[in-house]
Structure 1
């Protein structure tokens, strides 16, 4: 076998020396994947809760926090004689309640900065406030009592949520708007006055409660007459009827009497047990008291 000549070997070594720098600068091939993940862009920084984004809606967000709305409530109790039906009684009491509700609303809004600076007269202020109110019935109770009808009515009113300044400017600048409001309020005031005249002329709240008490007394008396019998102990009666609103005591000879008043009935105890039930106590001079089971027997319902 022939050996390569030295010239040939030198030529090969020279070529390898020239190719080495070029191979060193060529980058290594990247491995291939089915898909390469693309990193997400950096998330935007959230707006802190206390900072509202600037823009045309920023002022609206602030204005929505301010409201002209005011809320008023009035409860009125009315009593009418037997000549009125429930519809008439409710209408009259509603008119009376509406007038008193307007009184309260006008007195309250008179201190509002916008109204106080408008320089309205008392009548104009009342009429303007009346034009603002949106009134609804919040609660009502109509009760038939022996002498007529008792009505308890609660009205609730609120003013518009916005536009108070615009309404006030229109009221002050437009004579027709002002005249219409004054006329409407005058009508309501007249109706409220007529309603007060139609009611029984005494304190309605007191009368309502008085009628309730009278009914309760009749119910207590009927219940006691049915359930309480002679021989029952004080503890038994108290458990049945509760504490008596009225109480009297007397000592007649060796016997001790206690008279417990429950509405329109008296339970008379002798020595701790029921001796009689009577519709009223009867004073007897020889006893020097009215707490006993003697005297007018027409007043005695049950006796031992």
Structure 2
């Protein structure tokens, strides 16, 4: 079986399991709907205005989801900072576009758009706990989350003030007024029109979001593939043949043995003298043993 077939098969299996679980979890789902109104500027095209409208509606919906999940993590035993809860919640949720309409409001054209986030609270808590338990993924997502937030702020500063929340939304949160956009030449990018600045900001946001989504997807697939595929006694070459090159590597020499630790997703494969000795969720610093070893608490291991 090729690496592609293995990873794809595992991914499909988890999609089917998730779909089955969803059928029993509808009663526990939370829904947030947000409506935003974007007024078109003189140089805005319709397609650009729609993108700007949805970017702000998505930001507000995810912000409300983050506020809600931050309150729920208080009852859970994992140490995530408030900004991490917001960032990681946004990373694991998908926003649905409900539709948009272009209207003439007074003397101005505007786009009215609606977005919705639907999620199962326990599933999000499980995802946050999973991220919290995996330092490498937590750091990687934290860095990309800060990039996303910076890009979102730039887009939000260019968007017109938001409209009211859609009727029937389950949860609402007040939204701070949006700062006015500085005219070009007075704090804006020199030589760029408002339209060009918006296009640049939107392109940056969408690119960074794709990068973050790829981090989550790749980590999940590699982690689950590693759990199934890696067995005791396998060589580094055999593991790489199935999972590709490791994302990180540590080495150590102790008592005449060569230890190598290689990370795939949120798993570390520990080799001793070119043979897999254990599979663990995270490495632990221990005295003279350092980081690369198969000692420590049982909770950090898949098997050993």
- TM-score (normalised: structure 1): 0.40
Identify, as 1 or 2, the structure richer in helix: 2
Q: Which has the higher contact order (CA 8 A, sep 6+)?
A: 2
Larger Rg, first or second structure (1 or 2): 1
